[in-house]
Amino acid sequence: MLMNYLNLTIVGTLRKNKKEIPPEFINTRIRPEKTSMFAYKDGGTLLTYCPKKNKVVLLISTMHHTDETNPNSGDAQKPHILTFYNSRTSTRWPLTAFYRLLNVIGLNCFIIFKHKKGDFQSVRKEFLKNIARATTI
């Protein structure tokens, strides 16, 4: 649905306690290390990767539709979905979320101010600079 209407895709992790996940994907006792299993349905891919004994990583993706492994992962034979997910995650996401929140707040303030003043002709950048100066002094 997201792909068709909004051209959006997702890649993310899943928890093992979801009832929709087949038991073969969660059972770690019968799985050798560094193996992957894929399931495909309605444009989505479910991946389970066993990096070491008794550990499973579950990923879901609407972007990837093949079971390719990354040749750069060497002996680990990591699937492309996993290497893509690891490349996109970052330890600085709280800072990014904070700046996005500030951006939304600034945009909302600008829209409300323009609506109240009516004849106000200013650029948003100048408006934000004026707010920053007024709040810091």
Instruction: Kindly indicate the confidence band of residue 2, based on its pLDDT and cuts at 50, 70 and 90.
Output: low
Residues 51 and 111 in one domain: no
Residues 103 and 129 in one domain: yes
Note the pLDDT of residue 35.
Answer: 87
Note the pLDDT of residue 3.
Answer: 66
Residues 15 and 47 in one domain: yes
Residues 13 and 58 in one domain: yes
Residues 69 and 99 in one domain: no
Q: Which tokens in the block code for residue 128?
A: 């934000």
Residues 18 and 37 in one domain: yes
pTM of the model: 0.62
Residue 39 falls in which region: left (phi positive, over 0), alpha (psi -120 to 50) or beta: beta
Residues 100 and 132 in one domain: yes
Domain housing 57: 2-88
3-state SS, residue 103: helix
Residues 14 and 79 in one domain: yes
Note the pLDDT of residue 121.
Answer: 76
Q: Which tokens in the block code for residue 110?
A: 């600008």
Question: For residues 64-80, b (16+ Cβ closer than 10 Å) or e, as one string?
Answer: beeeebbeeeeeeebbb
What would the pLDDT profile of 38-64 be if each residue is shown by its tens digit?
999 888 899 999 988 889 999 999 988
Residues 19 and 77 in one domain: yes
What would the pLDDT profile of 72-110 be if each residue is shown by its tens digit?
777 778 888 898 888 887 778 788 889 999 999 999 999
> What whole-number distance in Å separates Cα of residue 87 and Cα of residue 85?
5
Mean residue pLDDT across the chain: 85
Residues 34 and 51 sit within 8 Å (Cβ to Cβ): yes
Residues 104 and 66 in one domain: no
Q: End of a domain among 56, 73, 88?
A: 88
Residues 120 and 65 in one domain: no
Note the pLDDT of residue 1.
Answer: 55
Residues 10 and 70 in one domain: yes
Number of domains, the chain: 2
H runs (alpha helix) in 1-79 = 2-6, 23-26
Q: End of a domain among 88, 104, 124?
A: 88
